[in-house]
Amino acid sequence: MLERRRFVTWNVILLVLLAFIIQQVVMKGWLSSFDQAAARRSRDLHASREIFTKTVIFGLRGTIISIFIPVMALVSWRKKSWAPLGGFLLVLLFETGMAGSLKVAIGRTFPYDHYYYENVDVNVGEMAFPSGHAANVVALLGYIAWYFSRAWRPWRRIAAWTAVALAAIDVGVSSWLIQTHWPTDLFAGYLIGAIALLAVVALFHACGFNPSATAQHSPAARP
């Protein structure tokens, strides 16, 4: 009961925050003004696109799945369990569906389409909001960290989640500096990734799945 209440509480909090950001974007509230100011600042910094188009790679869906689908498929095969790969695919489908639906519904322009940033347009058919890169790094790398680290010592769990956090920060800062996303695009992406991850974790708990029992002997979890 405690675990269920905790998952519900966190998902409600995340959904409320996401709804607030969507409202601000659609209604062009004060967060849109923040987006414009942040875009001007990133333009003035003249960050190297050659560098930051490479560092944003941690959020590329193709890169993440090309690495981790084979890993999770191997773990599923060795454990004779659908859970490792199935959970990864569920997170992928959930966060991709949420992000894709909002992209189509909001239709927001990208920062690189502007120079003075007087107006951030929505309902124009572009797909800046939310950031799929931000959602990917939280949902997919978060699932990998959650699955394997449950069987690890506390300091290794902290290291795994720190790595996910650093990857998320890297993707956000890189996207902001090269002006591929407004800050609210990134914040919404992080929230969607967290919602998708929590939903799958809650499903596993509801099914009585114990990740520690299956992950502790996997190749990726060995010291």
If one counts the domains in the chain, the total is 1
- DSSP-assigned letters across all residues of the chain: -HHHHHHHHHHHHHHHHHHHHHHHHHHT-HHHHHHHHHHHHHHHHT--HHHHHHHGGGG-HHHHHHHHHHHHHHHHHHHT-SHHHHHHHHHHHHHHHHHHHHHHHH-PPPGGG-SS-S----SSS---SS-HHHHHIIIIIHHHHHHHHTTS-HHHHHHHHHHHHHHHHHHHHHHHHTTSS-HHHHHHHHHHHHHHHHHHHHHHHHTT--HHHHHTTSGGG--
Better-scored residue on pLDDT, 114 or 62: 62
pTM of the model: 0.88
Of 2-11, 15-24, 205-214, the least confident: 205-214
Which two three-digit tokens encode residue 65?
A: 């799945």
- Which residue range forms the structural domain that includes residue 203? 2-221
Q: Which tens digits make up the pLDDT trace of 191-220?
A: 999 999 999 998 888 777 655 444 444 444
Q: Which tens digits make up the pLDDT trace of 74-90?
A: 998 988 888 889 999 99
**pLDDT at res. 210:** 59
**pLDDT at res. 216:** 44
Mean pLDDT of the chain: 86
Q: How many CB atoms lie within 10 A of CB 183?
A: 20
What CATH number is given to the structural domain containing 109?
Answer: 1.20.144
